Structure 1
Amino acid sequence: MQQSIHEDARETPVIGEYDVVVVGGGPAGLMAAAAASREGRSTVLIERYGFLGGAGTMGGLSTFCGLHARVHGEHRRVIRGYADELLERLEHMDALSEPHLSVQNRIQAQAFDISAYKIAADEFLVAGGATLLFHTSVVGVVMDAPERVDAVLVESKSGRGAIRGRVFIDGSGDADLVRHAGAPTEKSADLLYPSLMFRINGVDHQKAGRAWETVARIMDEAEERGERTFPRKKPIVRPQRNPLEWRANLTQLSNEDGSAIDGTDAWQLSRGELQGRQQVKDVFGFIRDTTPGFEDAYVVDIAPQIGIRETYRAVGQYQLSEADILDCVDFPDTIGVQGWPVEAHVEGTVEFRFPAAGVESRGFNQLPYRMLVPQQVDNLLTVGRSASMTQWGQSSARVTGPCFVMGQAAGLASHLSLSENTPVGDIEVPRLQQRLEDTGAYLGTELAPDVTPVTSR
C-alpha cells in the first residue's frame, strides 16, 4: 500500500500584509492584537473559529480565573490594563457576575455570559482598529532567513494563502508558529488531562443552595459505597450570572491506556469528544437524580470543543517554574503579575498548590518578559499556554488573567521592536514597562512598606 501521495508545487497568493500578525483569538491573542493595533500598528488576528475568547467560549469555561490574588489575606484584582476595558464592556451588557470564592475558598474567580463575551471581544478589538480573520487555520510559515518569519500560510474556505508580517505573535495555544519556525519547544511525557465543559439550566437555586459542595459530597459517598465511579474527583459545579444556569467542570478525558488526550492529535481529539459527551450524559444524570434543586434541570449546552490544558510549550529565554509561583518571585523584566495556584489535572483528580498561606503571603508572582521570547527567531513572540514555562509553572499561568498580561505585553513589545528596529528579544524593557503602566497595567513593583521583596530571578 502506498504510504504517501505526491502534491504538485503551487504558487500561494499573498492575501494580506501587516505590521503585526497574531495567531489565535484566546485571551492572550486578543489582548496582543488590541495592544498592537492601539499603538497604531496594522494588525490582523487569525482565528480558526468564528468567534474570540479561546477556552472561555470555545471551551465553555464561562469563568475568568486568575484576575485576582489573595494579597496578605485580602482578595484583590491584580490584572489591570486593557482587561479593564474588556470587563467594563461585559458589565455594560449585564454579563459579568461578582467575584466568587473558588478553589478551596482560597481565591476568587468571576463568571461571565459566554455569548456576551463573544460580542464584547469583537467590539473591543474592532474599536482599536484590529482586523479579524475568522474561520482560518495557520498551517505553516515561510522564513526569509533562518531567524526571521516572513509569512504565515493559512487555509480556509477561500483556499490557501499567505499573510506577511513584520512581527508575529503565537497565541495558538499549541506553539504552532514556534514549531513551524523551528524554534525549540517541549511537550510533557504525561500531559495534563483535558475536560469537556457543559452548562445546566432549569436549576431551582433556592433549593440547590451551595450545590457545589453537595455535588462533591454525594459523588464521594457514591464511590465509597461502590455504587458509581466518576472520571475525576473535585468536581466544579457553580451558578452563572443567572442562577437558573450552572456550569459544570467534572469530566476527564483519556486514551485507552489511561493517558491524557493529546490536543495535537486529531484521532485522540475525536476520541475525547465522544468520550466527553458520554461522560456529560452519565454524570449529569447522576446530579439530576441525587441533588436537590436539579430535579427539573437539563443540559442546555455542551462546549464546542474539549478544553485542552497543555500541549507544546516554547523553550524560550526563561521558563517560568512552579517554584516561581509558590515562592512569589519577582523579575527585573516584569510585565505583570498572576496569583492563581498550581492547578495540576492529573489522573482521576486535580491537585492544587498555593503559595504559603496566611497574611504574610503576597500571593502573586511577577511574570518576566523573557518567557514570551522564543529562541532563534528574531520577530516572533509566544503568549498564553504555549509561552515558555515548565509543566507545573504552566499549570498555574495558563489561566485567563496571566494570559491577558502576556498578550498586552506582547502587543506593546511588537510595536517597540518595530520602532527600535531591533529583535523582539532585544527591546528596551524599561520602555515596555513604562508603556504597560501608561496603559493601566499593574506590574507588581509597588509593595507595602512592611513587605520584604522576594528574591529576583
Structure 2
Amino acid sequence: MPQKSIQEPAREVPLYGEYEVAVLGGGPAGIAAAATAARAGKRTLLIERYGFLGGMGTAAGVTNFCGLHGNVHGEHHRLVQGIASELLARIDRLDGLNKPHLILGKVFAQAYDTAAYKIAADDLLATHKVDILFHALGAGVVMTDERRIDALMVETKAGRRAVSAGIFIDCSGDGDLAAWAGVPFEVGDEDGHPLYPSMMLRLNGIDPVRAGDAWRTIPQLMEQATAAGTHRFPRKSAIVRPQRSGIEWRVNFTQVAREDGHAINGIEPDDLTRGEIEGRKQALAAFEFLRTVPGFEKSYIVDLPPQLGIRETRRIKGGYQLSGEDVLGCASFDDSIGVNGWPIEAHVPGDVVFTFPPIPESRGYNELPYRMLVPEGIDNLLVAGRCASMTHEGQSAARVSGACFVMGEAAGSAASLALAGNRMPRDIAVEKLQEALRQQGAFIGRGQAVPQGL
C-alpha cells in the first residue's frame, strides 16, 4: 500500500553561516575533525543534535574508550595519539580518567567520567576556535550539482536553518549527510542486519571492598541464576566495571532486539522507539540481578543515558572498504592515515564474540586507508567514524572510539589541505596528509616507531 504523504510548501530558509568546513556530529570523529580543521586555520562549524559532545560515549553512556591501545607483539601501547592526546589530557586534569584496564587479558580499554569528557571536549574546541551549534538536528542537503553539496539543512529551536561550506565532513555515525547527498551505502551483514544495540546504565552506592573484583565472579553468578530460573539475560557477556570513584560502576548486560530476534535498526524510527523502551526494561532487570551480588545490595541507578547505544547503521561506500580480513591480517596501506588496534567485536544473538589477530605473533593493529573516508560520487564530502567505508566485519572492529578519533583527525587535516590547494579531497597528495598527521603527533604506521607507554 503506498505511503500517504503531505506536500510541504516551498520556503525561504535563513542562512545560519558560511564556513570553510562544516562537521555534522560531535562524537570522537567529529570532535577530532573540527578541532583539526580549525587548528589549521579554517573557519569551522561543528553541528551536534544534543547539548554536549562525545557521541555514544556520553549520549549513550558508554563511559569507556576502546581502541586507543594495541597489543603489539605482546606489549601494550597507546597507538592513538595526535588530537586524542589533547582531549585525554584535559579529561585527566579534571580527574576523570581511569587507568587503562585489560579486556580478556589481551587489549586495554580506558574508562572516563562522562561529565569530565563533556567539559574537556568543550574546552578543546574552544581552544582551537571551533564554532559549535548545539541542539541542531541535520535534516537534509541542498545540491544544485549532483556532485557537490551547497548547504546542509538543520532543524533548531529557531526553526530550519542552512549552513554552507566549502567541504562537509559527515561524522553523524549514521551516514546521514552522505545518504541525503546520494552516496551509496550498506547496512548490516549480508542479510541487512546490523550489530545489536545496548542500553548502558551506571550504578552508585556500591561497597567497593565487598564488591572486590566482582567482574570476575558475575559471569558465574549469571550462570547460576539462569540455571535456577531466577533471572534471564539477553546475552552471556556482561560488562560490570568500577568507575574512578569505586562506589560507581558502569553496567551493560543488554542486547536490544526486535520481535523477530534481529537487532534494532537505528535508522528506523519505530525500531528506535521500541528499542529505547526495551533497553530500559533490560537495564532494570540487570540492576535487580546485581542487587543480589555482594557489595551491590544497596546500589541504585544513578544514570540511564539519553539514548540507546547504537553500534552500526549505514556504512558508506568509498574508495576502499576496510574488511575483517584487514583487521585480522593487520593490513598495511600506502595511504594509511592511522591505525586500529581493536579486534573484531561481533554482537551475535545472545553473546559478544571477540576475534583477535594472532597475539603475540602479530603487531596487533591494522592501518586505516584514507580512501575509506572518501565517498563515491560527491566532490566536497568526507566521512569519518563508524559510518565510514567498511564491511560489516571491518566495522565491528574499527567502529570504536580510538579509530574514530583517527579518522576524524585525518578528515579535518584532509579538508584543510584540499581547501588550501583548491582541490577536491580525493585529489590531495596523500603524502602531504601523512606528513601533516605525523607533525600533529599522530601515529599512522608506515614504519613509524610505535608510541611508548599507555
**Which TM-score band (shorter chain)?**
over 0.9
Q: Does 2:349 align with 1:347?
A: yes
How far did residue 448 of structure 1 move?
7.3
Which of the residues 297, 309, 312 maps onto 2:311?
A: 309
**C-alpha separation in 2, matches of 1:59 and 1:319:** 27
In structure 1, the residue matched to 2:194 is 191
Letter in 2 for 1:286: F
Which of the residues 223, 227, 241 maps onto 1:220?
A: 223
Q: How many residue pairs align between the two structures?
A: 446
**C-alpha separation in 2, matches of 1:436 and 1:49:** 29
Q: How does 1:15-54 map to 2 (within 5 A)?
A: 15-54=16-55
Residue by residue over 1:363-411, the C-alpha shift from the partner in whole angstroms, topping out at 9 and shown as x without a partner, is 0010000000000101100010000000010010010101000000000
Secondary structure of 1:425 counterpart: helix
**C-alpha separation in 2, matches of 1:372 and 1:351:** 27
Structure 1 residues 390, 277: closer, same or farther in 2, change over 3 A?
same
In structure 1, the residue matched to 2:122 is 122
RMSD of aligned alpha carbons = 1.3
Q: How does 1:289-438 map to 2 (within 5 A)?
A: 289=292, 291-358=293-360, 360-438=361-439
Secondary structure of 1:149 counterpart: coil
How far did residue 105 of structure 1 move?
1.7
Q: Does 2:178 align with 1:178?
A: yes
How far did residue 228 of structure 1 move?
2.8
In structure 1, the residue matched to 2:268 is 265
- Which shifted more, 52-61 or 251-260? 251-260
In structure 2, the residue matched to 1:203 is 206
How far did residue 217 of structure 1 move?
1.2
How far did residue 63 of structure 1 move?
0.7
- Which shifted more, 238-247 or 206-215? 206-215
How far did residue 226 of structure 1 move?
3.8
Q: Does 2:248 align with 1:245?
A: yes
Q: Is the 8 A contact 2:231 2:289 kept in 1?
A: no
**C-alpha separation in 1, matches of 2:223 and 2:170:** 41
How far did residue 2 of structure 1 move?
9.1
Q: Does 2:115 align with 1:112?
A: no
In structure 1, the residue matched to 2:143 is 143
**C-alpha separation in 2, matches of 1:128 and 1:271:** 40
Q: How does 1:155-170 map to 2 (within 5 A)?
A: 155-170=155-170
**C-alpha separation in 1, matches of 2:206 and 2:362:** 38
Residue by residue over 1:408-431, the C-alpha shift from the partner in whole angstroms, topping out at 9 and shown as x without a partner, is 000000001111111111110000
How far did residue 446 of structure 1 move?
2.6
Query: Which TM-score applies when normalising by structure 2?
Result: 0.96
Letter in 1 for 2:166: R
Q: Is the 8 A contact 2:315 2:388 kept in 1?
A: yes
Query: Which TM-score applies when normalising by structure 1?
Result: 0.96
In structure 2, the residue matched to 1:231 is 234
How far did residue 156 of structure 1 move?
1.0
**C-alpha separation in 1, matches of 2:150 and 2:20:** 11
Secondary structure of 1:98 counterpart: coil
How far did residue 4 of structure 1 move?
2.0
Letter in 2 for 1:60: G
- Show structure 1 runs of 5+ residues with no match: 450-457
Secondary structure of 1:375 counterpart: coil
How far did residue 441 of structure 1 move?
0.3
Percent identical residues: 54
Q: Does 2:98 align with 1:97?
A: yes
Which of the residues 261, 270, 280 maps onto 2:283?
A: 280
Residue by residue over 1:237-283, the C-alpha shift from the partner in whole angstroms, topping out at 9 and shown as x without a partner, is 00011111000011111111111111111111111111111111111
Letter in 1 for 2:133: L
- Show structure 2 runs of 5+ residues with no match: none
**C-alpha separation in 2, matches of 1:366 and 1:178:** 24
**C-alpha separation in 1, matches of 2:269 and 2:159:** 21
How far did residue 447 of structure 1 move?
6.2
Secondary structure of 2:110 counterpart: strand
Q: Is the 8 A contact 2:71 2:359 kept in 1?
A: no
Residue by residue over 1:280-338, the C-alpha shift from the partner in whole angstroms, topping out at 9 and shown as x without a partner, is 1111111112x111111111111110000001110100000000000001000010111
Letter in 2 for 1:120: A
Secondary structure of 1:195 counterpart: coil
Letter in 2 for 1:353: T
**C-alpha separation in 2, matches of 1:190 and 1:176:** 18
**C-alpha separation in 1, matches of 2:276 and 2:211:** 29
- Which shifted more, 407-416 or 184-193? 184-193
Secondary structure of 2:290 counterpart: helix
- Which shifted more, 9-18 or 24-33? 9-18
How far did residue 19 of structure 1 move?
0.0
How far did residue 3 of structure 1 move?
2.0
**C-alpha separation in 1, matches of 2:154 and 2:207:** 47
Letter in 1 for 2:128: G
